[in-house]
Amino acid sequence: MNKVKQKDLILYSGLIILGLAAPFLFSAFKVQLTYLCVLIVLAMTWNLQGGEMGYNSFGNILFYGLGMYLTASVQVGMFFPLAEWTESGGEKTFVHTTAQYFQGIGVGLLVAAIVPTIVAGAIGYAILGLRGHYFAICTLGLGIAAGEIAGGIEIIGAGQGFTTPPFPAEIVDPEARGQFFYFLSFLVLVLAFVFVKYIYGSRFRLILNAIRDNEDKAEAMGIQTMKYKIVGWMCSAFFCGLAGGIMGGLIGYIDSTDVAFDGREMGVFMVLMAILGGKGTLWGPIIGATLFHFFKEGLWTFILGWQYVALGVLIVVIVVYFPEGLMGWLREKYPDRFGEVIDEKDRKAQVELK
C-alpha cells in the first residue's frame, strides 16, 4: 500500500513540475498549453456527470459561455460603464490600469464560477428530471438558445461581439500575458484534478454510479437521487464557468455563437474528449483531451478548411467504433491492471457459450 502511494507521489509531483516548467520549455506554445489545460478541465468535469452520473449533457457549454460573458462584463463593469464599452467596439476609449485589470479578472472569475453553479442548481431540478436522450436534447437546446439569446442582447455586444479588456500595456514583458493565462489555467486544472480525485474516492461517486446504473433502484435504496444529480451538475458548472472566464480573457474577443456558446466546437469537444479517453475513469478524459488536442493542432493546419469535415468523421468513428474509449479498451485488454480479477475457467465457459 505504502509503495503505491509513493508511486503516486512521484507521478503527481512529476506532473506538477512538468506543468510548471512547460511554459518555459515550450515557450512558443503557451497559448496551446493554456487551451490544453482548459480542455482537460472541461473533459474532466463533463465526465463527472456524463460518465459517472450517466447524464450525457450537450449543454455544459451554457456554463462555459456564461462564465466567459460574466468575467468580461465584471472586469469591464467594475471600472467603466459597460454599455459604452461594448458600443465603442474595438476602439478603446477606456484603458484598464494594471491593478484594475487583475482586480477585475479576479472578481470576474469568482463571479464566473459562482453564478453558473447557482444557475445549474436553479434549473437542475427541472432539467435533471429528464432522462437519457431527452436530457441530451434538452441541454443541446439550452446551449443553443443561450447563444441565440446572447446574440440579441445589446449591453453585451449583441451580434457584433464583445472585446474583453486587453492585457495591461504597462507590463512590457511580451511573455507575461501568455504566462499569466497559462498559470491561471494550470491552477484551475490542478484544482479540478484534486477535486475530481477527491470525488473518486468518496461515497458521492458511488451514488453517482448508482444513478447511472439504475436510477430507479438507487431511489428505492433510499438515495435522494435528485439532490445528488443537482450537486453533480453544479460541480461541472463551477469548473465550466471558470474555464470559460479564462478562455474569454485569452481569446480577447467574445462572440455569442462562435466563441462563448460554441456548441459546434467546445460543446462537442468536451463530450468527444471524454468518450475518446473513456467515460467514467479518472485518467480517461485527461488522456483523451491531450490526444485530441495534439491531433487537432497537428492536423488542423494541414487540412485547413476541411477541419470540420475531419471533426465530423472523427466523431462518427470514435462514437461508432470506440464508444468505450481508450481506457475501456485498455481495461478489456489488461483487466488485472484495473484491479479486476477474472476467473479463467468462467471466462472460457463464457467464450464457449458464445
Among 31, 119, 190, 314, binds other proteins (CB under 8 A): 314
Does residue 217 belong to the site contacting other proteins (CB under 8 A)?
A: no
> Letter for the amino acid at 36?
L
Stretch that binds other proteins, among 114-122, 187-195, 239-247, 306-314 (CB under 8 A): 306-314
Number of residues lying near other proteins (CB under 8 A):
40
Quickly count: other Cβ atoms within 10 Å of residue 118's Cβ: 13
Question: C-alpha angle with apex 323: 309 to 117, nearest 5 degrees?
Answer: 85
Does residue 320 belong to the site contacting other proteins (CB under 8 A)?
A: yes
Does residue 199 belong to the site contacting other proteins (CB under 8 A)?
A: no
CB 253 within 8 A of CB 161: yes
Nearest approach in angstroms of CB 352 to other proteins is: 24
* Residue 43 DSSP class: H
Among 33, 38, 44, 144, binds other proteins (CB under 8 A): 144
> Letter for the amino acid at 320?
V
Does residue 300 belong to the site contacting other proteins (CB under 8 A)?
A: no
Question: C-alpha angle with apex 235: 260 to 66, nearest 5 degrees?
Answer: 20
Nearest approach in angstroms of CB 129 to other proteins is: 4
Does residue 312 belong to the site contacting other proteins (CB under 8 A)?
A: yes
Among 315, 322, 324, 331, binds other proteins (CB under 8 A): 315
Using the minimum distance from each CB to other proteins, give the nearer residue, 152 or 339.
152
d(CA 105, CA 165): 9
- At residue 271, the 3 state secondary structure works out as helix
Does residue 127 belong to the site contacting other proteins (CB under 8 A)?
A: yes
Among 137, 194, 303, 342, binds other proteins (CB under 8 A): 137
Alpha-carbon 256 to chain mean position: 18
CB 35 within 8 A of CB 77: no
Buried b (16+ CB within 10 A) or exposed e, 321-330: eeebbbbbeb
Using the minimum distance from each CB to other proteins, give the nearer residue, 321 or 354.
321
Does residue 61 belong to the site contacting other proteins (CB under 8 A)?
A: no
Using the minimum distance from each CB to other proteins, give the nearer residue, 196 or 271.
271
330-334 long-range contacts (CB < 8 A, ≥24 apart) are 330/278, 331/278
CA torsion, ordered 261, 265, 266, 271, to nearest 10 deg: 120
Restricted to residues 259-278, the positions that interact with other proteins (CB under 8 A) are 264, 268, 271, 275
Does residue 308 belong to the site contacting other proteins (CB under 8 A)?
A: yes
Does residue 148 belong to the site contacting other proteins (CB under 8 A)?
A: yes
Q: Whose grid coordinates read 480479477?
A: 341
Using the minimum distance from each CB to other proteins, give the nearer residue, 185 or 236.
236
- At residue 95, the 3 state secondary structure works out as coil
Does residue 115 belong to the site contacting other proteins (CB under 8 A)?
A: no
Strand-pair partners of 253: 163
Cell of 236: 461541472
* 3-class SS shares of the chain: helix, strand, coil, % to 5: 75, 0, 25
Restricted to residues 29-58, the positions that interact with other proteins (CB under 8 A) are 56
Among 133, 203, 345, 354, binds other proteins (CB under 8 A): 133
Does residue 251 belong to the site contacting other proteins (CB under 8 A)?
A: no
Using the minimum distance from each CB to other proteins, give the nearer residue, 94 or 134.
134
Among 323, 332, 348, 349, binds other proteins (CB under 8 A): 323
Alpha-carbon 268 to chain mean position: 11
> Angle, nearest 10°, between helix axes 225-251 and 30-47?
170
Using the minimum distance from each CB to other proteins, give the nearer residue, 78 or 299.
299
Nearest approach in angstroms of CB 19 to other proteins is: 31
Question: Which positions touch other proteins (CB under 8 A)?
Answer: 56, 126-127, 129-134, 136-138, 140-142, 144-145, 148-149, 151-152, 158-159, 264, 268, 271, 275, 305-306, 308-309, 311-316, 319-320, 323
